[in-house]
Structure 1
Amino acid sequence: MTTNRGRRALLLTLSAAVVAGAALSGGGAATAVAAPAAPVSVVPASGAPVSGASISVAPAAPAGLDWGGCDAAVRPLPGQECARLSVPLDYARPHGEQIQLAVSRLRSTVPAARRGTLMVIPGGPGSSGVQRLAQKGAVLAGETGGAYDLVAFDPRGIGGSAKARCGLAEEDRWMVTLRSWPGAGGGVEENIARSKRIAEACARNGGAMLRGLTTANQVRDLERLRQALGERKLSAWAVSYGTYVAAEYAQKFPGRTDRWVLDSSSDPDPRRVARGWLEGMAEGAADRFPDFAAWASHPDRAKAGLRLAERPEDVRPLLLDLAARLDRAPHASATAGVPLSGAMLLQALQQSLYSDGSFEGFARLVTAALDPAGRPVLPPELAGAMPDEAAAVSVGVICNDVDWPRASPAAYQRVVDADRVRHPLTAGMPVNATPCAYWKGGAVEKPVRITDRGPSNILMIQNLRDPSTPYTKGLAMRAALGDRARLVSVDHGGHGVYLGNGNACGDRAVTRFLTEGVRPDRDVLCR
């Protein structure tokens, strides 16, 4: 039985994990069951990888799952069940130490219509599949007419699954410090020092659990879950970072995929992976911002006091001027001891661009910051430090997946200075120094190259103006998959398309594919 105090701590951890994952995704969070309390193994002193590129999933998989009720912290839907899945900590030692992953499902209520299992694969890295199922399961079940059991799991490090910890100081666990926003005026010295400090702490305290946080292991864990479910094939709806997980699964286990949906993809270039995704956020913010500028300058905003300018073209200069002033002199906020800085304002903007529904909250933040007597209400994710385990997973996966180049402080400064001019809305953050540049041991294993070899059973869907996975990066995934995929482009802004932005054309295309197996003959555009 989980105590009220334990449930509250779990909810805080889960909500922070969503924020950690927001760097690459727009996804949900939470979990089914409390996770093991500590890492269960130690990285060899040599720093050797915990798994290699040639490792296959161990043949010994659990015969089934013991389904039961979900923890109340998940806020489960009626009928939502939860279980635990045992997987190897290290697939190079498949019969060695095992860790537990939280798993959840919503069974089809129309047995005659059921055709299989649909995996709901969350974004991040840092988002919970169990919580996303709780958030989207009812509408997804209704949309697909009971054709699937809906299943999700919390990846390693997330929600109710086994956790890793880095032992980071509180000041290093804030969103605007984990995301490398340059200092006032664009200086990078503090970012470099912090990045080194985080990398050193993770190497010292993370152990094998931290080194096991990789996309490759999430793919292996998904295959183990398929075996435990007793399914010959899986279908999937993957969002944001989850599309990379799903694409890698389809590359490694093509014969195990049925109907595969990739929603809001980024460039799978194995030389860059997460580094390229982060850099793409500058382009994404520029693509998406005109939607907010049009909203914030519309006369309808005047009645609520939220009209920031009379013309769309005046909104960006207003925000950039405000951010510069807040960097010089942060504005006291409604959270005691946490003033609003320019970096925090731009981080809040980035988050608000994910959904039209977030525009009003950001406009209120700006309006209060413009008022000398105002007390801006900070978004929850900016008002405090993340739990250590949430911070660990937010850096662990992206640093373990691929080697990041290390540059001199002067080189970082030059790149950041240039990017601040080219993309002022992200102020050089996407190209700044991160802990990955100083990560001990580098990538755990060689990244997978996504190719056009495999069954033609993938449907992609992508917004034209996505702040996190910009359209051009989605086109790179489309090119990599070749004839295996078809792309539905949607003339809309925001992150996450299917059942997310109300575009009937896009929703209809995905639903028809999942329920009837019918894709467009060629790539299409939904206006």
Structure 2
Amino acid sequence: MKRQRSIGRRSALALVLGLSLGGSLLAAPAVADGLRAPQVKWGACPEDVVAEAAPIELQCATVSVPVDYADPGSARIDLMISRLASTNPEKRRGTLMLNPGGPGGSGLALPALLATQGLPDGVRDGYDLIGMDTRGIGRSGRIGCGFTPEGPYTANIPPYAADDAAVTAQAKVAEQVAQQCARNDRKGLLRHLTTANTARDLDRIRAALGEEKTSYLGYSYGTALGAAYASMFPERSDRIVLDSNVGDTHLDPDGMRRYALGMEQSFPDFAKWAAARHDSYGLGRTPAQVRRNYLAFAKRLDKSPVAGFDGSLFRTYTFANLFKKKQYPKLAQQWQALADGDGTAVRRLLPKSTAPAEVPSSFDNSLSVFLAVTCNDIEWPEKVGTYRRAVAQDRKRYPLLGAATANITPCAYWPHAPAEPPVAVNDDGPRNVLLVQNQRDVATPHRGGKMLRQKFADRSRLLSVDDTGHGAYVLGDNPCALNTTTRYLVEGKMPGKDKLCRAG
């Protein structure tokens, strides 16, 4: 039973993930003074990157950066980057750095992924597409807390808390996780994983590539990183596209709670889809009925799990499968199997795993980086009562998921205090930030785009898209969003004012 539950948690995480005192922005300069940027030497990529990128061929290289920018003479790490080079020198205008989100997502194969999903030739001609494993990820100083499928912590969203006792129980798990991460930090890298340091890394990569400026395309948490880069290095930022916006340069408790808002806004699209297919899946004849059935069924699973699926996992699994409309059938199948009590069908629909429980899981690295960056960027509340009150509030305000995303996380017990304040959004710079945002996004609701629009002020424009799902440019299917964003990246034509792309 426990094994089945952990497999389901890992499946949900995979979908959700593809965010010491004394330092300050003054103590840790934007670029380490006196360091000569290395020259990039391109070569073959590792075999797994080659396989993931196929049939597109990428080149890979490394760039050396300080672990601690406040002490640039200390230890260094090599960051691995990838390139899909422009094949049209006459149209090439520079580099376009890419980030898939997370924090914790590997981006080495992202240039190939976007190319195979339809990135327009104008963008491919105009830029060398630069992917990377940012610090702590994969081949860039990989870290790991040692999470296993059998462990109590297997997802970046805490379990749904049905009452105060559940919050207290989760607090014990969260404290153990923070201690586990500290014990496994043998190289001392954990505390240096921050959005600010990663933005500094981007600028080191820019310099190593010999570019005076760099353009940037980031999704989800990649919008926080891009907002930090454009704020710290406004004159070195060229054309910046931030898609599916977190709302700031970091994730904080309010940002986590907005996941629940996103589910409330996105679930009606699934409910409408399911109601139209009631004769096939039996989830409800109207969208309102689908919602009522969801809430009732989640409570039923709280009391009587099926094949390791309890109500908490069902809620998280539903959240994860609202990321893309193409995942709706999978969600409907699983819900149907659970409702029928068909444990065999439930297990068949989950990914298989053959890894021994004692071996760190496939999500160990990504979840560890997520925690490190999220917890290092900003001070989180430490009192359990703060989370109890938030859970009680969001259980009523956002009944679909709110008592999960307001729950306590390991950040409350993190072993390192933030070394510097979070990066403040800088509205003093060129008008070069295009914010792209679906109006119904389960992970980063439209409010995040509006928040960054207000913070960047006249430096930005907001392109709202009448669509659901996580990711609009290339990853979505709205022609207006595709054309407007491509026009900006290729021709530099920013919309004169905020724009709404109607359903395509």
Instruction: Quote the residue 1:62 is aligned against.
Output: 37
The 10-residue stretch of structure 1 (158-167 or 136-145) with the greater mean CA deviation from structure 2: 136-145
Where does residue 422 of structure 1 map in the other structure? 397
Given candidates 444, 453, 462, the residue that maps to 1:487 is 462
Runs of 5+ unmatched residues, structure 2 = 1-8
Post-superposition Cα deviations, 1:116-168, rounded to whole Å, max 9, x if no partner, equal: 11111221111111132231134325252511111111111212221123245
- Counterpart for residue 354 of structure 1: 323
Q: Is the 8 A contact 1:251 1:450 kept in 2?
A: yes
User: Which residue matches 1:521?
Assistant: 496
1:226 matched to which residue of 2?
206
- The answer on whether the counterparts of 1:327 and 1:342 sit within 8 Å (CA) in structure 2 is yes
Give the aligned partner of residue 144 of structure 2.
Answer: 165
Shift of residue 205, structure 1, vs aligned partner = 2.9
CA contact (8 A) 1:199 1:438 kept: yes
Structure 2 length as normaliser, TM-score? 0.89
Q: 2:286 aligns with which of 281, 304, 311?
A: 311
Q: Residue 138 of structure 2 contacts residue 365 of structure 2 at CA under 8 Å; is this kept in 1?
A: no
Q: Deviations over 1:196-236 (max 9, x none)?
A: 11112223332521111110111011001001100011111
Write out per-residue CA displacement over residues 263-302 of structure 1, whole angstroms, 9 at most, x where no aligned residue. 11122177xx432221111111101110000001104x63
Distance between the aligned counterparts of 2:289 and 2:182, measured in 1? 46
Following superposition, the deviation at residue 417 of structure 1 comes to 2.2
Shift in alpha-carbon separation, 1:372–1:525, aligned structure 2, 3 A? same
- Structure 1 unaligned spans of 5+: 1-15, 28-46, 333-338
Residue of structure 2 in register with 1:255 after alignment = 235
Corresponding position of 1:98 = 76
Matched residue type, 2:390 = V
**Aligned partner of 2:178 among 189, 199, 206:** 199
In structure 1, distance between residues paired with 2:470 and 2:222: 13
- The question of whether the paired residues in 1 share the 8 Å contact of 2:227 and 2:249 is answered with no
Counterpart-to-counterpart distance in 1, 2:260 and 2:314: 15
C-alpha contact (below 8 Å) 2:319/2:442 kept by paired residues: yes
Partner of 2:416: 441
Question: Is 2:130 the counterpart of 1:154?
Answer: no
Q: TM-score, structure 1 length as denominator?
A: 0.85
Asked if the contact 1:70–1:76 (Cα under 8 Å) also holds between the matched residues in 2, the reply is no
1:504 maps to which of 455, 479, 493 = 479
Matched position secondary structure for 1:73? helix
* 1:76 counterpart = 2:53: yes
CA distance in 2, matches of 1:161, 1:141: 29
Q: Percent identity?
A: 38
Q: CA deviation at 1:253?
A: 0.8
5 Å matches for 1:278-289? 278-289=256-267
Structure 1 residues 91 and 425, CA gap change in structure 2 (3 angstroms): same
1:439-468 deviation line (CA, Å, top 9, x unaligned): 123212111110311111111111000111
Q: Give the distance between the partners of 2:479 and 2:443, measured in 1 at CA.
A: 22
Q: What residue is the counterpart of 1:144 in the other structure?
A: 123
AA aligned to 1:55 is: A
| 1:240 to 2:220 alignment | yes
Q: Give the residue type in structure 1 aligned to 2:123.
A: T
Distance in 1 separating the partners of 2:431 and 2:247: 19
Partner in structure 1 of residue 3 of structure 2: none
Contact preservation (8 Å) 1:49, 1:211 = no
Deviates more, 1:469-478 or 1:439-448: 439-448
SS in 2 for 1:267: coil
Query: How far apart are residue 67 of structure 1 and its match?
Result: 1.1
The answer on 1:407 being equivalent to 2:407 is no
Indicate conservation of the 8 Å contact 1:211/1:400, yes or no.
yes
Amino acid at match of 2:28: I
Q: Among residues 180, 189, 194, which one is paired with 1:214 in the alignment?
A: 194
Alpha-carbon distance between aligned partners in 2 of 1:423 and 1:51, rounded to the nearest angstrom:
37
Within 2, Cα distance between the matches of 1:381 and 1:243?
32
Q: Following TM superposition, by how much is the alpha carbon of 1:115 offset from its aligned partner in structure 2, in angstroms? A: 1.1
Deviates more, 1:388-397 or 1:216-225: 388-397
Q: Render the CA deviation track for 1:488-518: whole Å, top value 9, x for unaligned.
A: 1100011111011210001000000011111
Q: Which residue of 1 aligns with 2:158?
A: 180
- The whole-number CA distance in structure 2 between the counterparts of 1:116 and 1:269 is 25
The equivalent of 2:96 in structure 1 is 118
Q: Check whether the contact 1:298–1:307 (CA below 8 A) recurs between aligned residues.
A: no
Distance 2:12 2:106 in 1: 11
TM-superposed CA distance for 1:20, in Å, is 5.5
Contact 1:50 1:211 in 2 (8 A): no
Distance 1:196 1:50, change over 3 A: same
